Structure 1
Amino acid sequence: MKIAIDSCAAMHIGDRSEQQDRVGIYPHPERPGCMIAVLADGMGGHSGGAIAAEQVLLKARQNFAAYAPSSESPTEFLREVISDAHASIKLTRFTSEADPHSTAVVFMLRPGHADWAHCGDSRLYHFRHGQLISRTPDHSLVEELQRAGRITQAQAEVHPQRNLLLSCLGAENPPRTELGGTPALQVGDAFILCSDGLWAYCSDQELGRVLMEQDARSAARSLLNLARERAQGVGDNLSMAIIRVVPAS
């Protein structure tokens, strides 16, 4: 069966004074069937978060334009994007008074394949017919404590250090880059990249159901409205990129 891609990117400033999230979906300028989606959450606790997030998208677009599948593997490409963005963000410290940091999620789609990399607590979820296949692990103190069995999910949700990251772009230490992928795309596959301004208010089941039942644009609108309603006036910046695999018409 021939497939098509239904995609949408969306952002909302939430209840913050500045939008420090960035998100974009970009087709390859020369290779049909190839595209990337990129999401970055400029660190809210640092000045210059928006600058850092912009650097992630800029480096991803520049590297993707030069991406050559015959000489560079998806893994190499994804690692290089995060490494180059990290280096660029660190250089920004010396050319401005800002202290920029960012998370990053980079998703690459090729004919029949999807690959991704991330660093920080912005997430990528992979659903198939509404069922969760995988999601990226957060590089946060709270998730490390959960994985070690030292706190429960309920405790994690109210932990006083739930926003503390153990790895991000722009920090002194090199970013922790984790990779994922699926070798065979199928109709019914859906991917969502999102910042914590969205996933903090939506369960895995809710995300999967909305992505299965609605087209990408409608799903983005529904999830944005749901997060804003549940934030009750204290919501963070939120952003998302949705990629759905559908039958070709």
Structure 2
Amino acid sequence: MRRTKSRTGQAGHIGGRAEQQDHAACFASADGRCHLLVVADGMGGRTGGELAARTVIDVAEALWNESAQRPDDPPAFLESLCQRAHAAIRQHAEDCGESAGATVVALLTTPERAWWVHVGDSRLYAFRDCRPVFRTEDHTLVQQLVRSGQIDEAEAAAHPEQHKLLRGLGGYDALQTTHGQMRVDPDTGFVLCTDGFWAKVAADEMAGLLLAEVLGDACAQWVGIAVARAGAESDNATVAVLQPAGRRSGFAYRQLWPLYAAGVLALAAFLFHAMR
């Protein structure tokens, strides 16, 4: 098994929290044709949230190995990932007497197609030619208000109940998941992230990650920027990226340098004020 290949990268930052409750993983088949990316955001007291998120990743890795890195039925594989993690998290909470839960977003790709599943408010963004074409809809009260037309996206960003989840792994109710799929072209890329990341990094800025020369470094830079923008009370921030198979590093990459420059300036300004 390979945990990473050149087309994938991930990074996380603890932010202003006492504990890192986000976890992510990128898996690739031996021939590099099939990829699995998973991001989980834990919830719960003491170590419950961290363990819940780590459980999601452990279940994903076990299933990936069981499938010989090439699942025959991608939607069923992703559903099993969620259901197994849900049951394991719930069992731990019962055994230890502490609350535990997690959000999850998982992506499975072949050269021709991509499938995903999500529960909660960790998101998947899909891009074609570095332009955002799709994102998952959060399972939150605020997203429900947006969908019904009671508030707009701008109001949702500052809504006091923005983080109130309607679904999550580890509860006692039957788990409800949301699936999606799309055709994959050589210019198709994906970004998966927790709310601590997408709340502070716009989709247009995420596009720069799809053309980064050193993807791990770029992911680390942008989680740092997300945390800096959020300030002292920042949430954990985590991102995982699958770059397009036909990734170009020339002109298109240079077109995106202002986004990186803006990010560097934002981080420098935060550090300057923090050290005063």
**1:242 aligned residue:** 241
CA distance in 2, matches of 1:173, 1:31: 39
Does 1:51 pair with 2:51?
Answer: yes
| Secondary structure of the corresponding residue to residue 124 of structure 2 | strand
Measured against aligned partners, the alpha-carbon deviations of 1:89-121 in whole angstroms (never above 9, x if no partner) come to 111112213211000111112233221111100
Normalising by structure 2, report the TM-score. 0.81
Q: Greater shift after overlay, 65-74 or 31-40? A: 65-74
**1:97 aligned residue:** 97
**1:205 aligned residue:** 204
CA distance in 2, matches of 1:248, 1:51: 35
Task: Give, as a single letter, the amino acid of the residue that structure 1 aligns with 2:237.
Answer: L
Measured against aligned partners, the alpha-carbon deviations of 1:175-228 in whole angstroms (never above 9, x if no partner) come to 221112222332x222111001100001222222x1344232343134223212
Q: Is the 8 A contact 1:118 1:177 kept in 2?
A: yes
Q: Greater shift after overlay, 44-53 or 137-146? A: 44-53
CA distance in 1, matches of 2:224, 2:74: 34
| Secondary structure of the corresponding residue to residue 244 of structure 2 | strand
Measured against aligned partners, the alpha-carbon deviations of 1:138-181 in whole angstroms (never above 9, x if no partner) come to 00000000010001223212222111000000112222211122
Does 1:193 pair with 2:192?
Answer: yes
Change (3 A) 1:70 1:143: closer
CA distance in 1, matches of 2:72, 2:57: 20
Q: Is the 8 A contact 1:46 1:100 kept in 2?
A: no
Task: Give, as a single letter, the amino acid of the residue that structure 2 aligns with 1:196.
Answer: D
Q: Is the 8 A contact 2:119 2:177 kept in 1?
A: yes
CA distance in 1, matches of 2:149, 2:40: 29
Task: Give, as a single letter, the amino acid of the residue that structure 1 aligns with 2:38.
Answer: V
Task: Give, as a single letter, the amino acid of the residue that structure 2 aligns with 1:26.
Answer: F
CA distance in 2, matches of 1:54, 1:241: 15
Change (3 A) 1:70 1:118: closer
**2:7 aligned residue:** 6
| Secondary structure of the corresponding residue to residue 240 of structure 2 | strand
Equivalent runs, 1:64-103 vs 2, <5 Å: 64-67=64-67, 72-103=72-103
Aligned-residue offset at 1:87: 0.8
Runs of 4+, deviation exceeding 6 Å: 68-71
CA distance in 2, matches of 1:70, 1:197: 31
**1:231 aligned residue:** 230
Equivalent runs, 1:149-168 vs 2, <5 Å: 149-168=149-168
**2:272 aligned residue:** none
How many residues align structurally? Answer: 243
| Secondary structure of the corresponding residue to residue 97 of structure 2 | coil
**2:252 aligned residue:** none
Q: Which has the higher helix share?
A: 2
Equivalent runs, 1:126-165 vs 2, <5 Å: 126-165=126-165
| Secondary structure of the corresponding residue to residue 229 of structure 2 | helix
Aligned-residue offset at 1:46: 7.9
Q: Is the 8 A contact 1:5 1:245 kept in 2?
A: no
Unaligned segments of structure 2, at least 5 residues? 249-276
| Secondary structure of the corresponding residue to residue 33 of structure 2 | coil
Task: Give, as a single letter, the amino acid of the residue that structure 2 aligns with 1:224.
Answer: V
CA distance in 1, matches of 2:225, 2:13: 12
CA distance in 2, matches of 1:152, 1:245: 32
Task: Give, as a single letter, the amino acid of the residue that structure 2 aligns with 1:19.
Answer: Q
CA distance in 2, matches of 1:232, 1:143: 24
Task: Give, as a single letter, the amino acid of the residue that structure 2 aligns with 1:241.
Answer: A
Task: Give, as a single letter, the amino acid of the residue that structure 2 aligns with 1:223.
Answer: W
Unaligned segments of structure 1, at least 5 residues? none
Measured against aligned partners, the alpha-carbon deviations of 1:46-91 in whole angstroms (never above 9, x if no partner) come to 8601111111111111112112699841111111110111111111
| Secondary structure of the corresponding residue to residue 102 of structure 1 | strand
Q: Is the 8 A contact 2:34 2:69 kept in 1?
A: no
Change (3 A) 1:69 1:220: closer
| Secondary structure of the corresponding residue to residue 105 of structure 2 | strand
Aligned-residue offset at 1:7: 1.2
Task: Give, as a single letter, the amino acid of the residue that structure 2 aligns with 1:117.
Answer: V
